[in-house]
């Protein structure tokens, strides 16, 4: 089991999302923390300066980095698919 850490930006943006969608995102993040190797809808990002991976949940993207040695997943940003990389 990995520990989930949220940046201030990720927490702020998660609060802006409708509660039903935010709850679904948190459930998917818990699944990711339980077993990061087998998570669906996760892709590695090639040229992102901060986040190494992205998780797609419906119309939302979750950008995160993963430290396997420390067993930590840091959620960098959460937002709609059209605005997340801006």
**pTM score, whole prediction:** 0.92
Q: Assign 80 a pLDDT band (cuts: 50, 70, 90).
A: very high
Average pLDDT over the chain, rounded to an integer = 93
Residue 86 domain-assigned (yes or no): no
Range of the domain at 37: 3-80
Residues in CB range of 9: below 8 A, 6 or more apart: 76, 77
Q: What are the two backbone dihedrals, phi and then psi, of residue 27, each rounded to the nearest 5 degrees?
A: -65, -45
How many distinct structural domains can be found in the chain? 1
Residue 13 domain-assigned (yes or no): yes
Adjacent-strand bridge partners of 74: 5, 65
17-35: per-residue pLDDT in tens?
999 999 999 999 999 999 9
Whole-number pLDDT of residue 48: 82
Whole-number pLDDT of residue 49: 85
* Domain harbouring 30, CATH code: 3.30.2310.20
Distance (Å, rounded) from C-alpha 79 to C-alpha 61? 6
CB 16 within 8 A of CB 46: no
């Amino acid at each position: 089991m990995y520990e989930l850490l949220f940046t201030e930006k990720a927490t702020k943006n998660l609060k802006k999302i409708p509660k039903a969608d935010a709850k679904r995102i948190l459930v998917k993040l818990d699944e990711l923390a339980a077993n990061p190797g087998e998570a669906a809808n996760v892709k590695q990002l090639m040229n992102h300066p901060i986040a190494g991976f992205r998780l797609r949940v419906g119309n939302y993207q979750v950008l995160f980095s993963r430290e396997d040695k420390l067993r930590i997943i840091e959620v960098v940003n959460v937002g709609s698919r059209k605005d997340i990389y801006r």
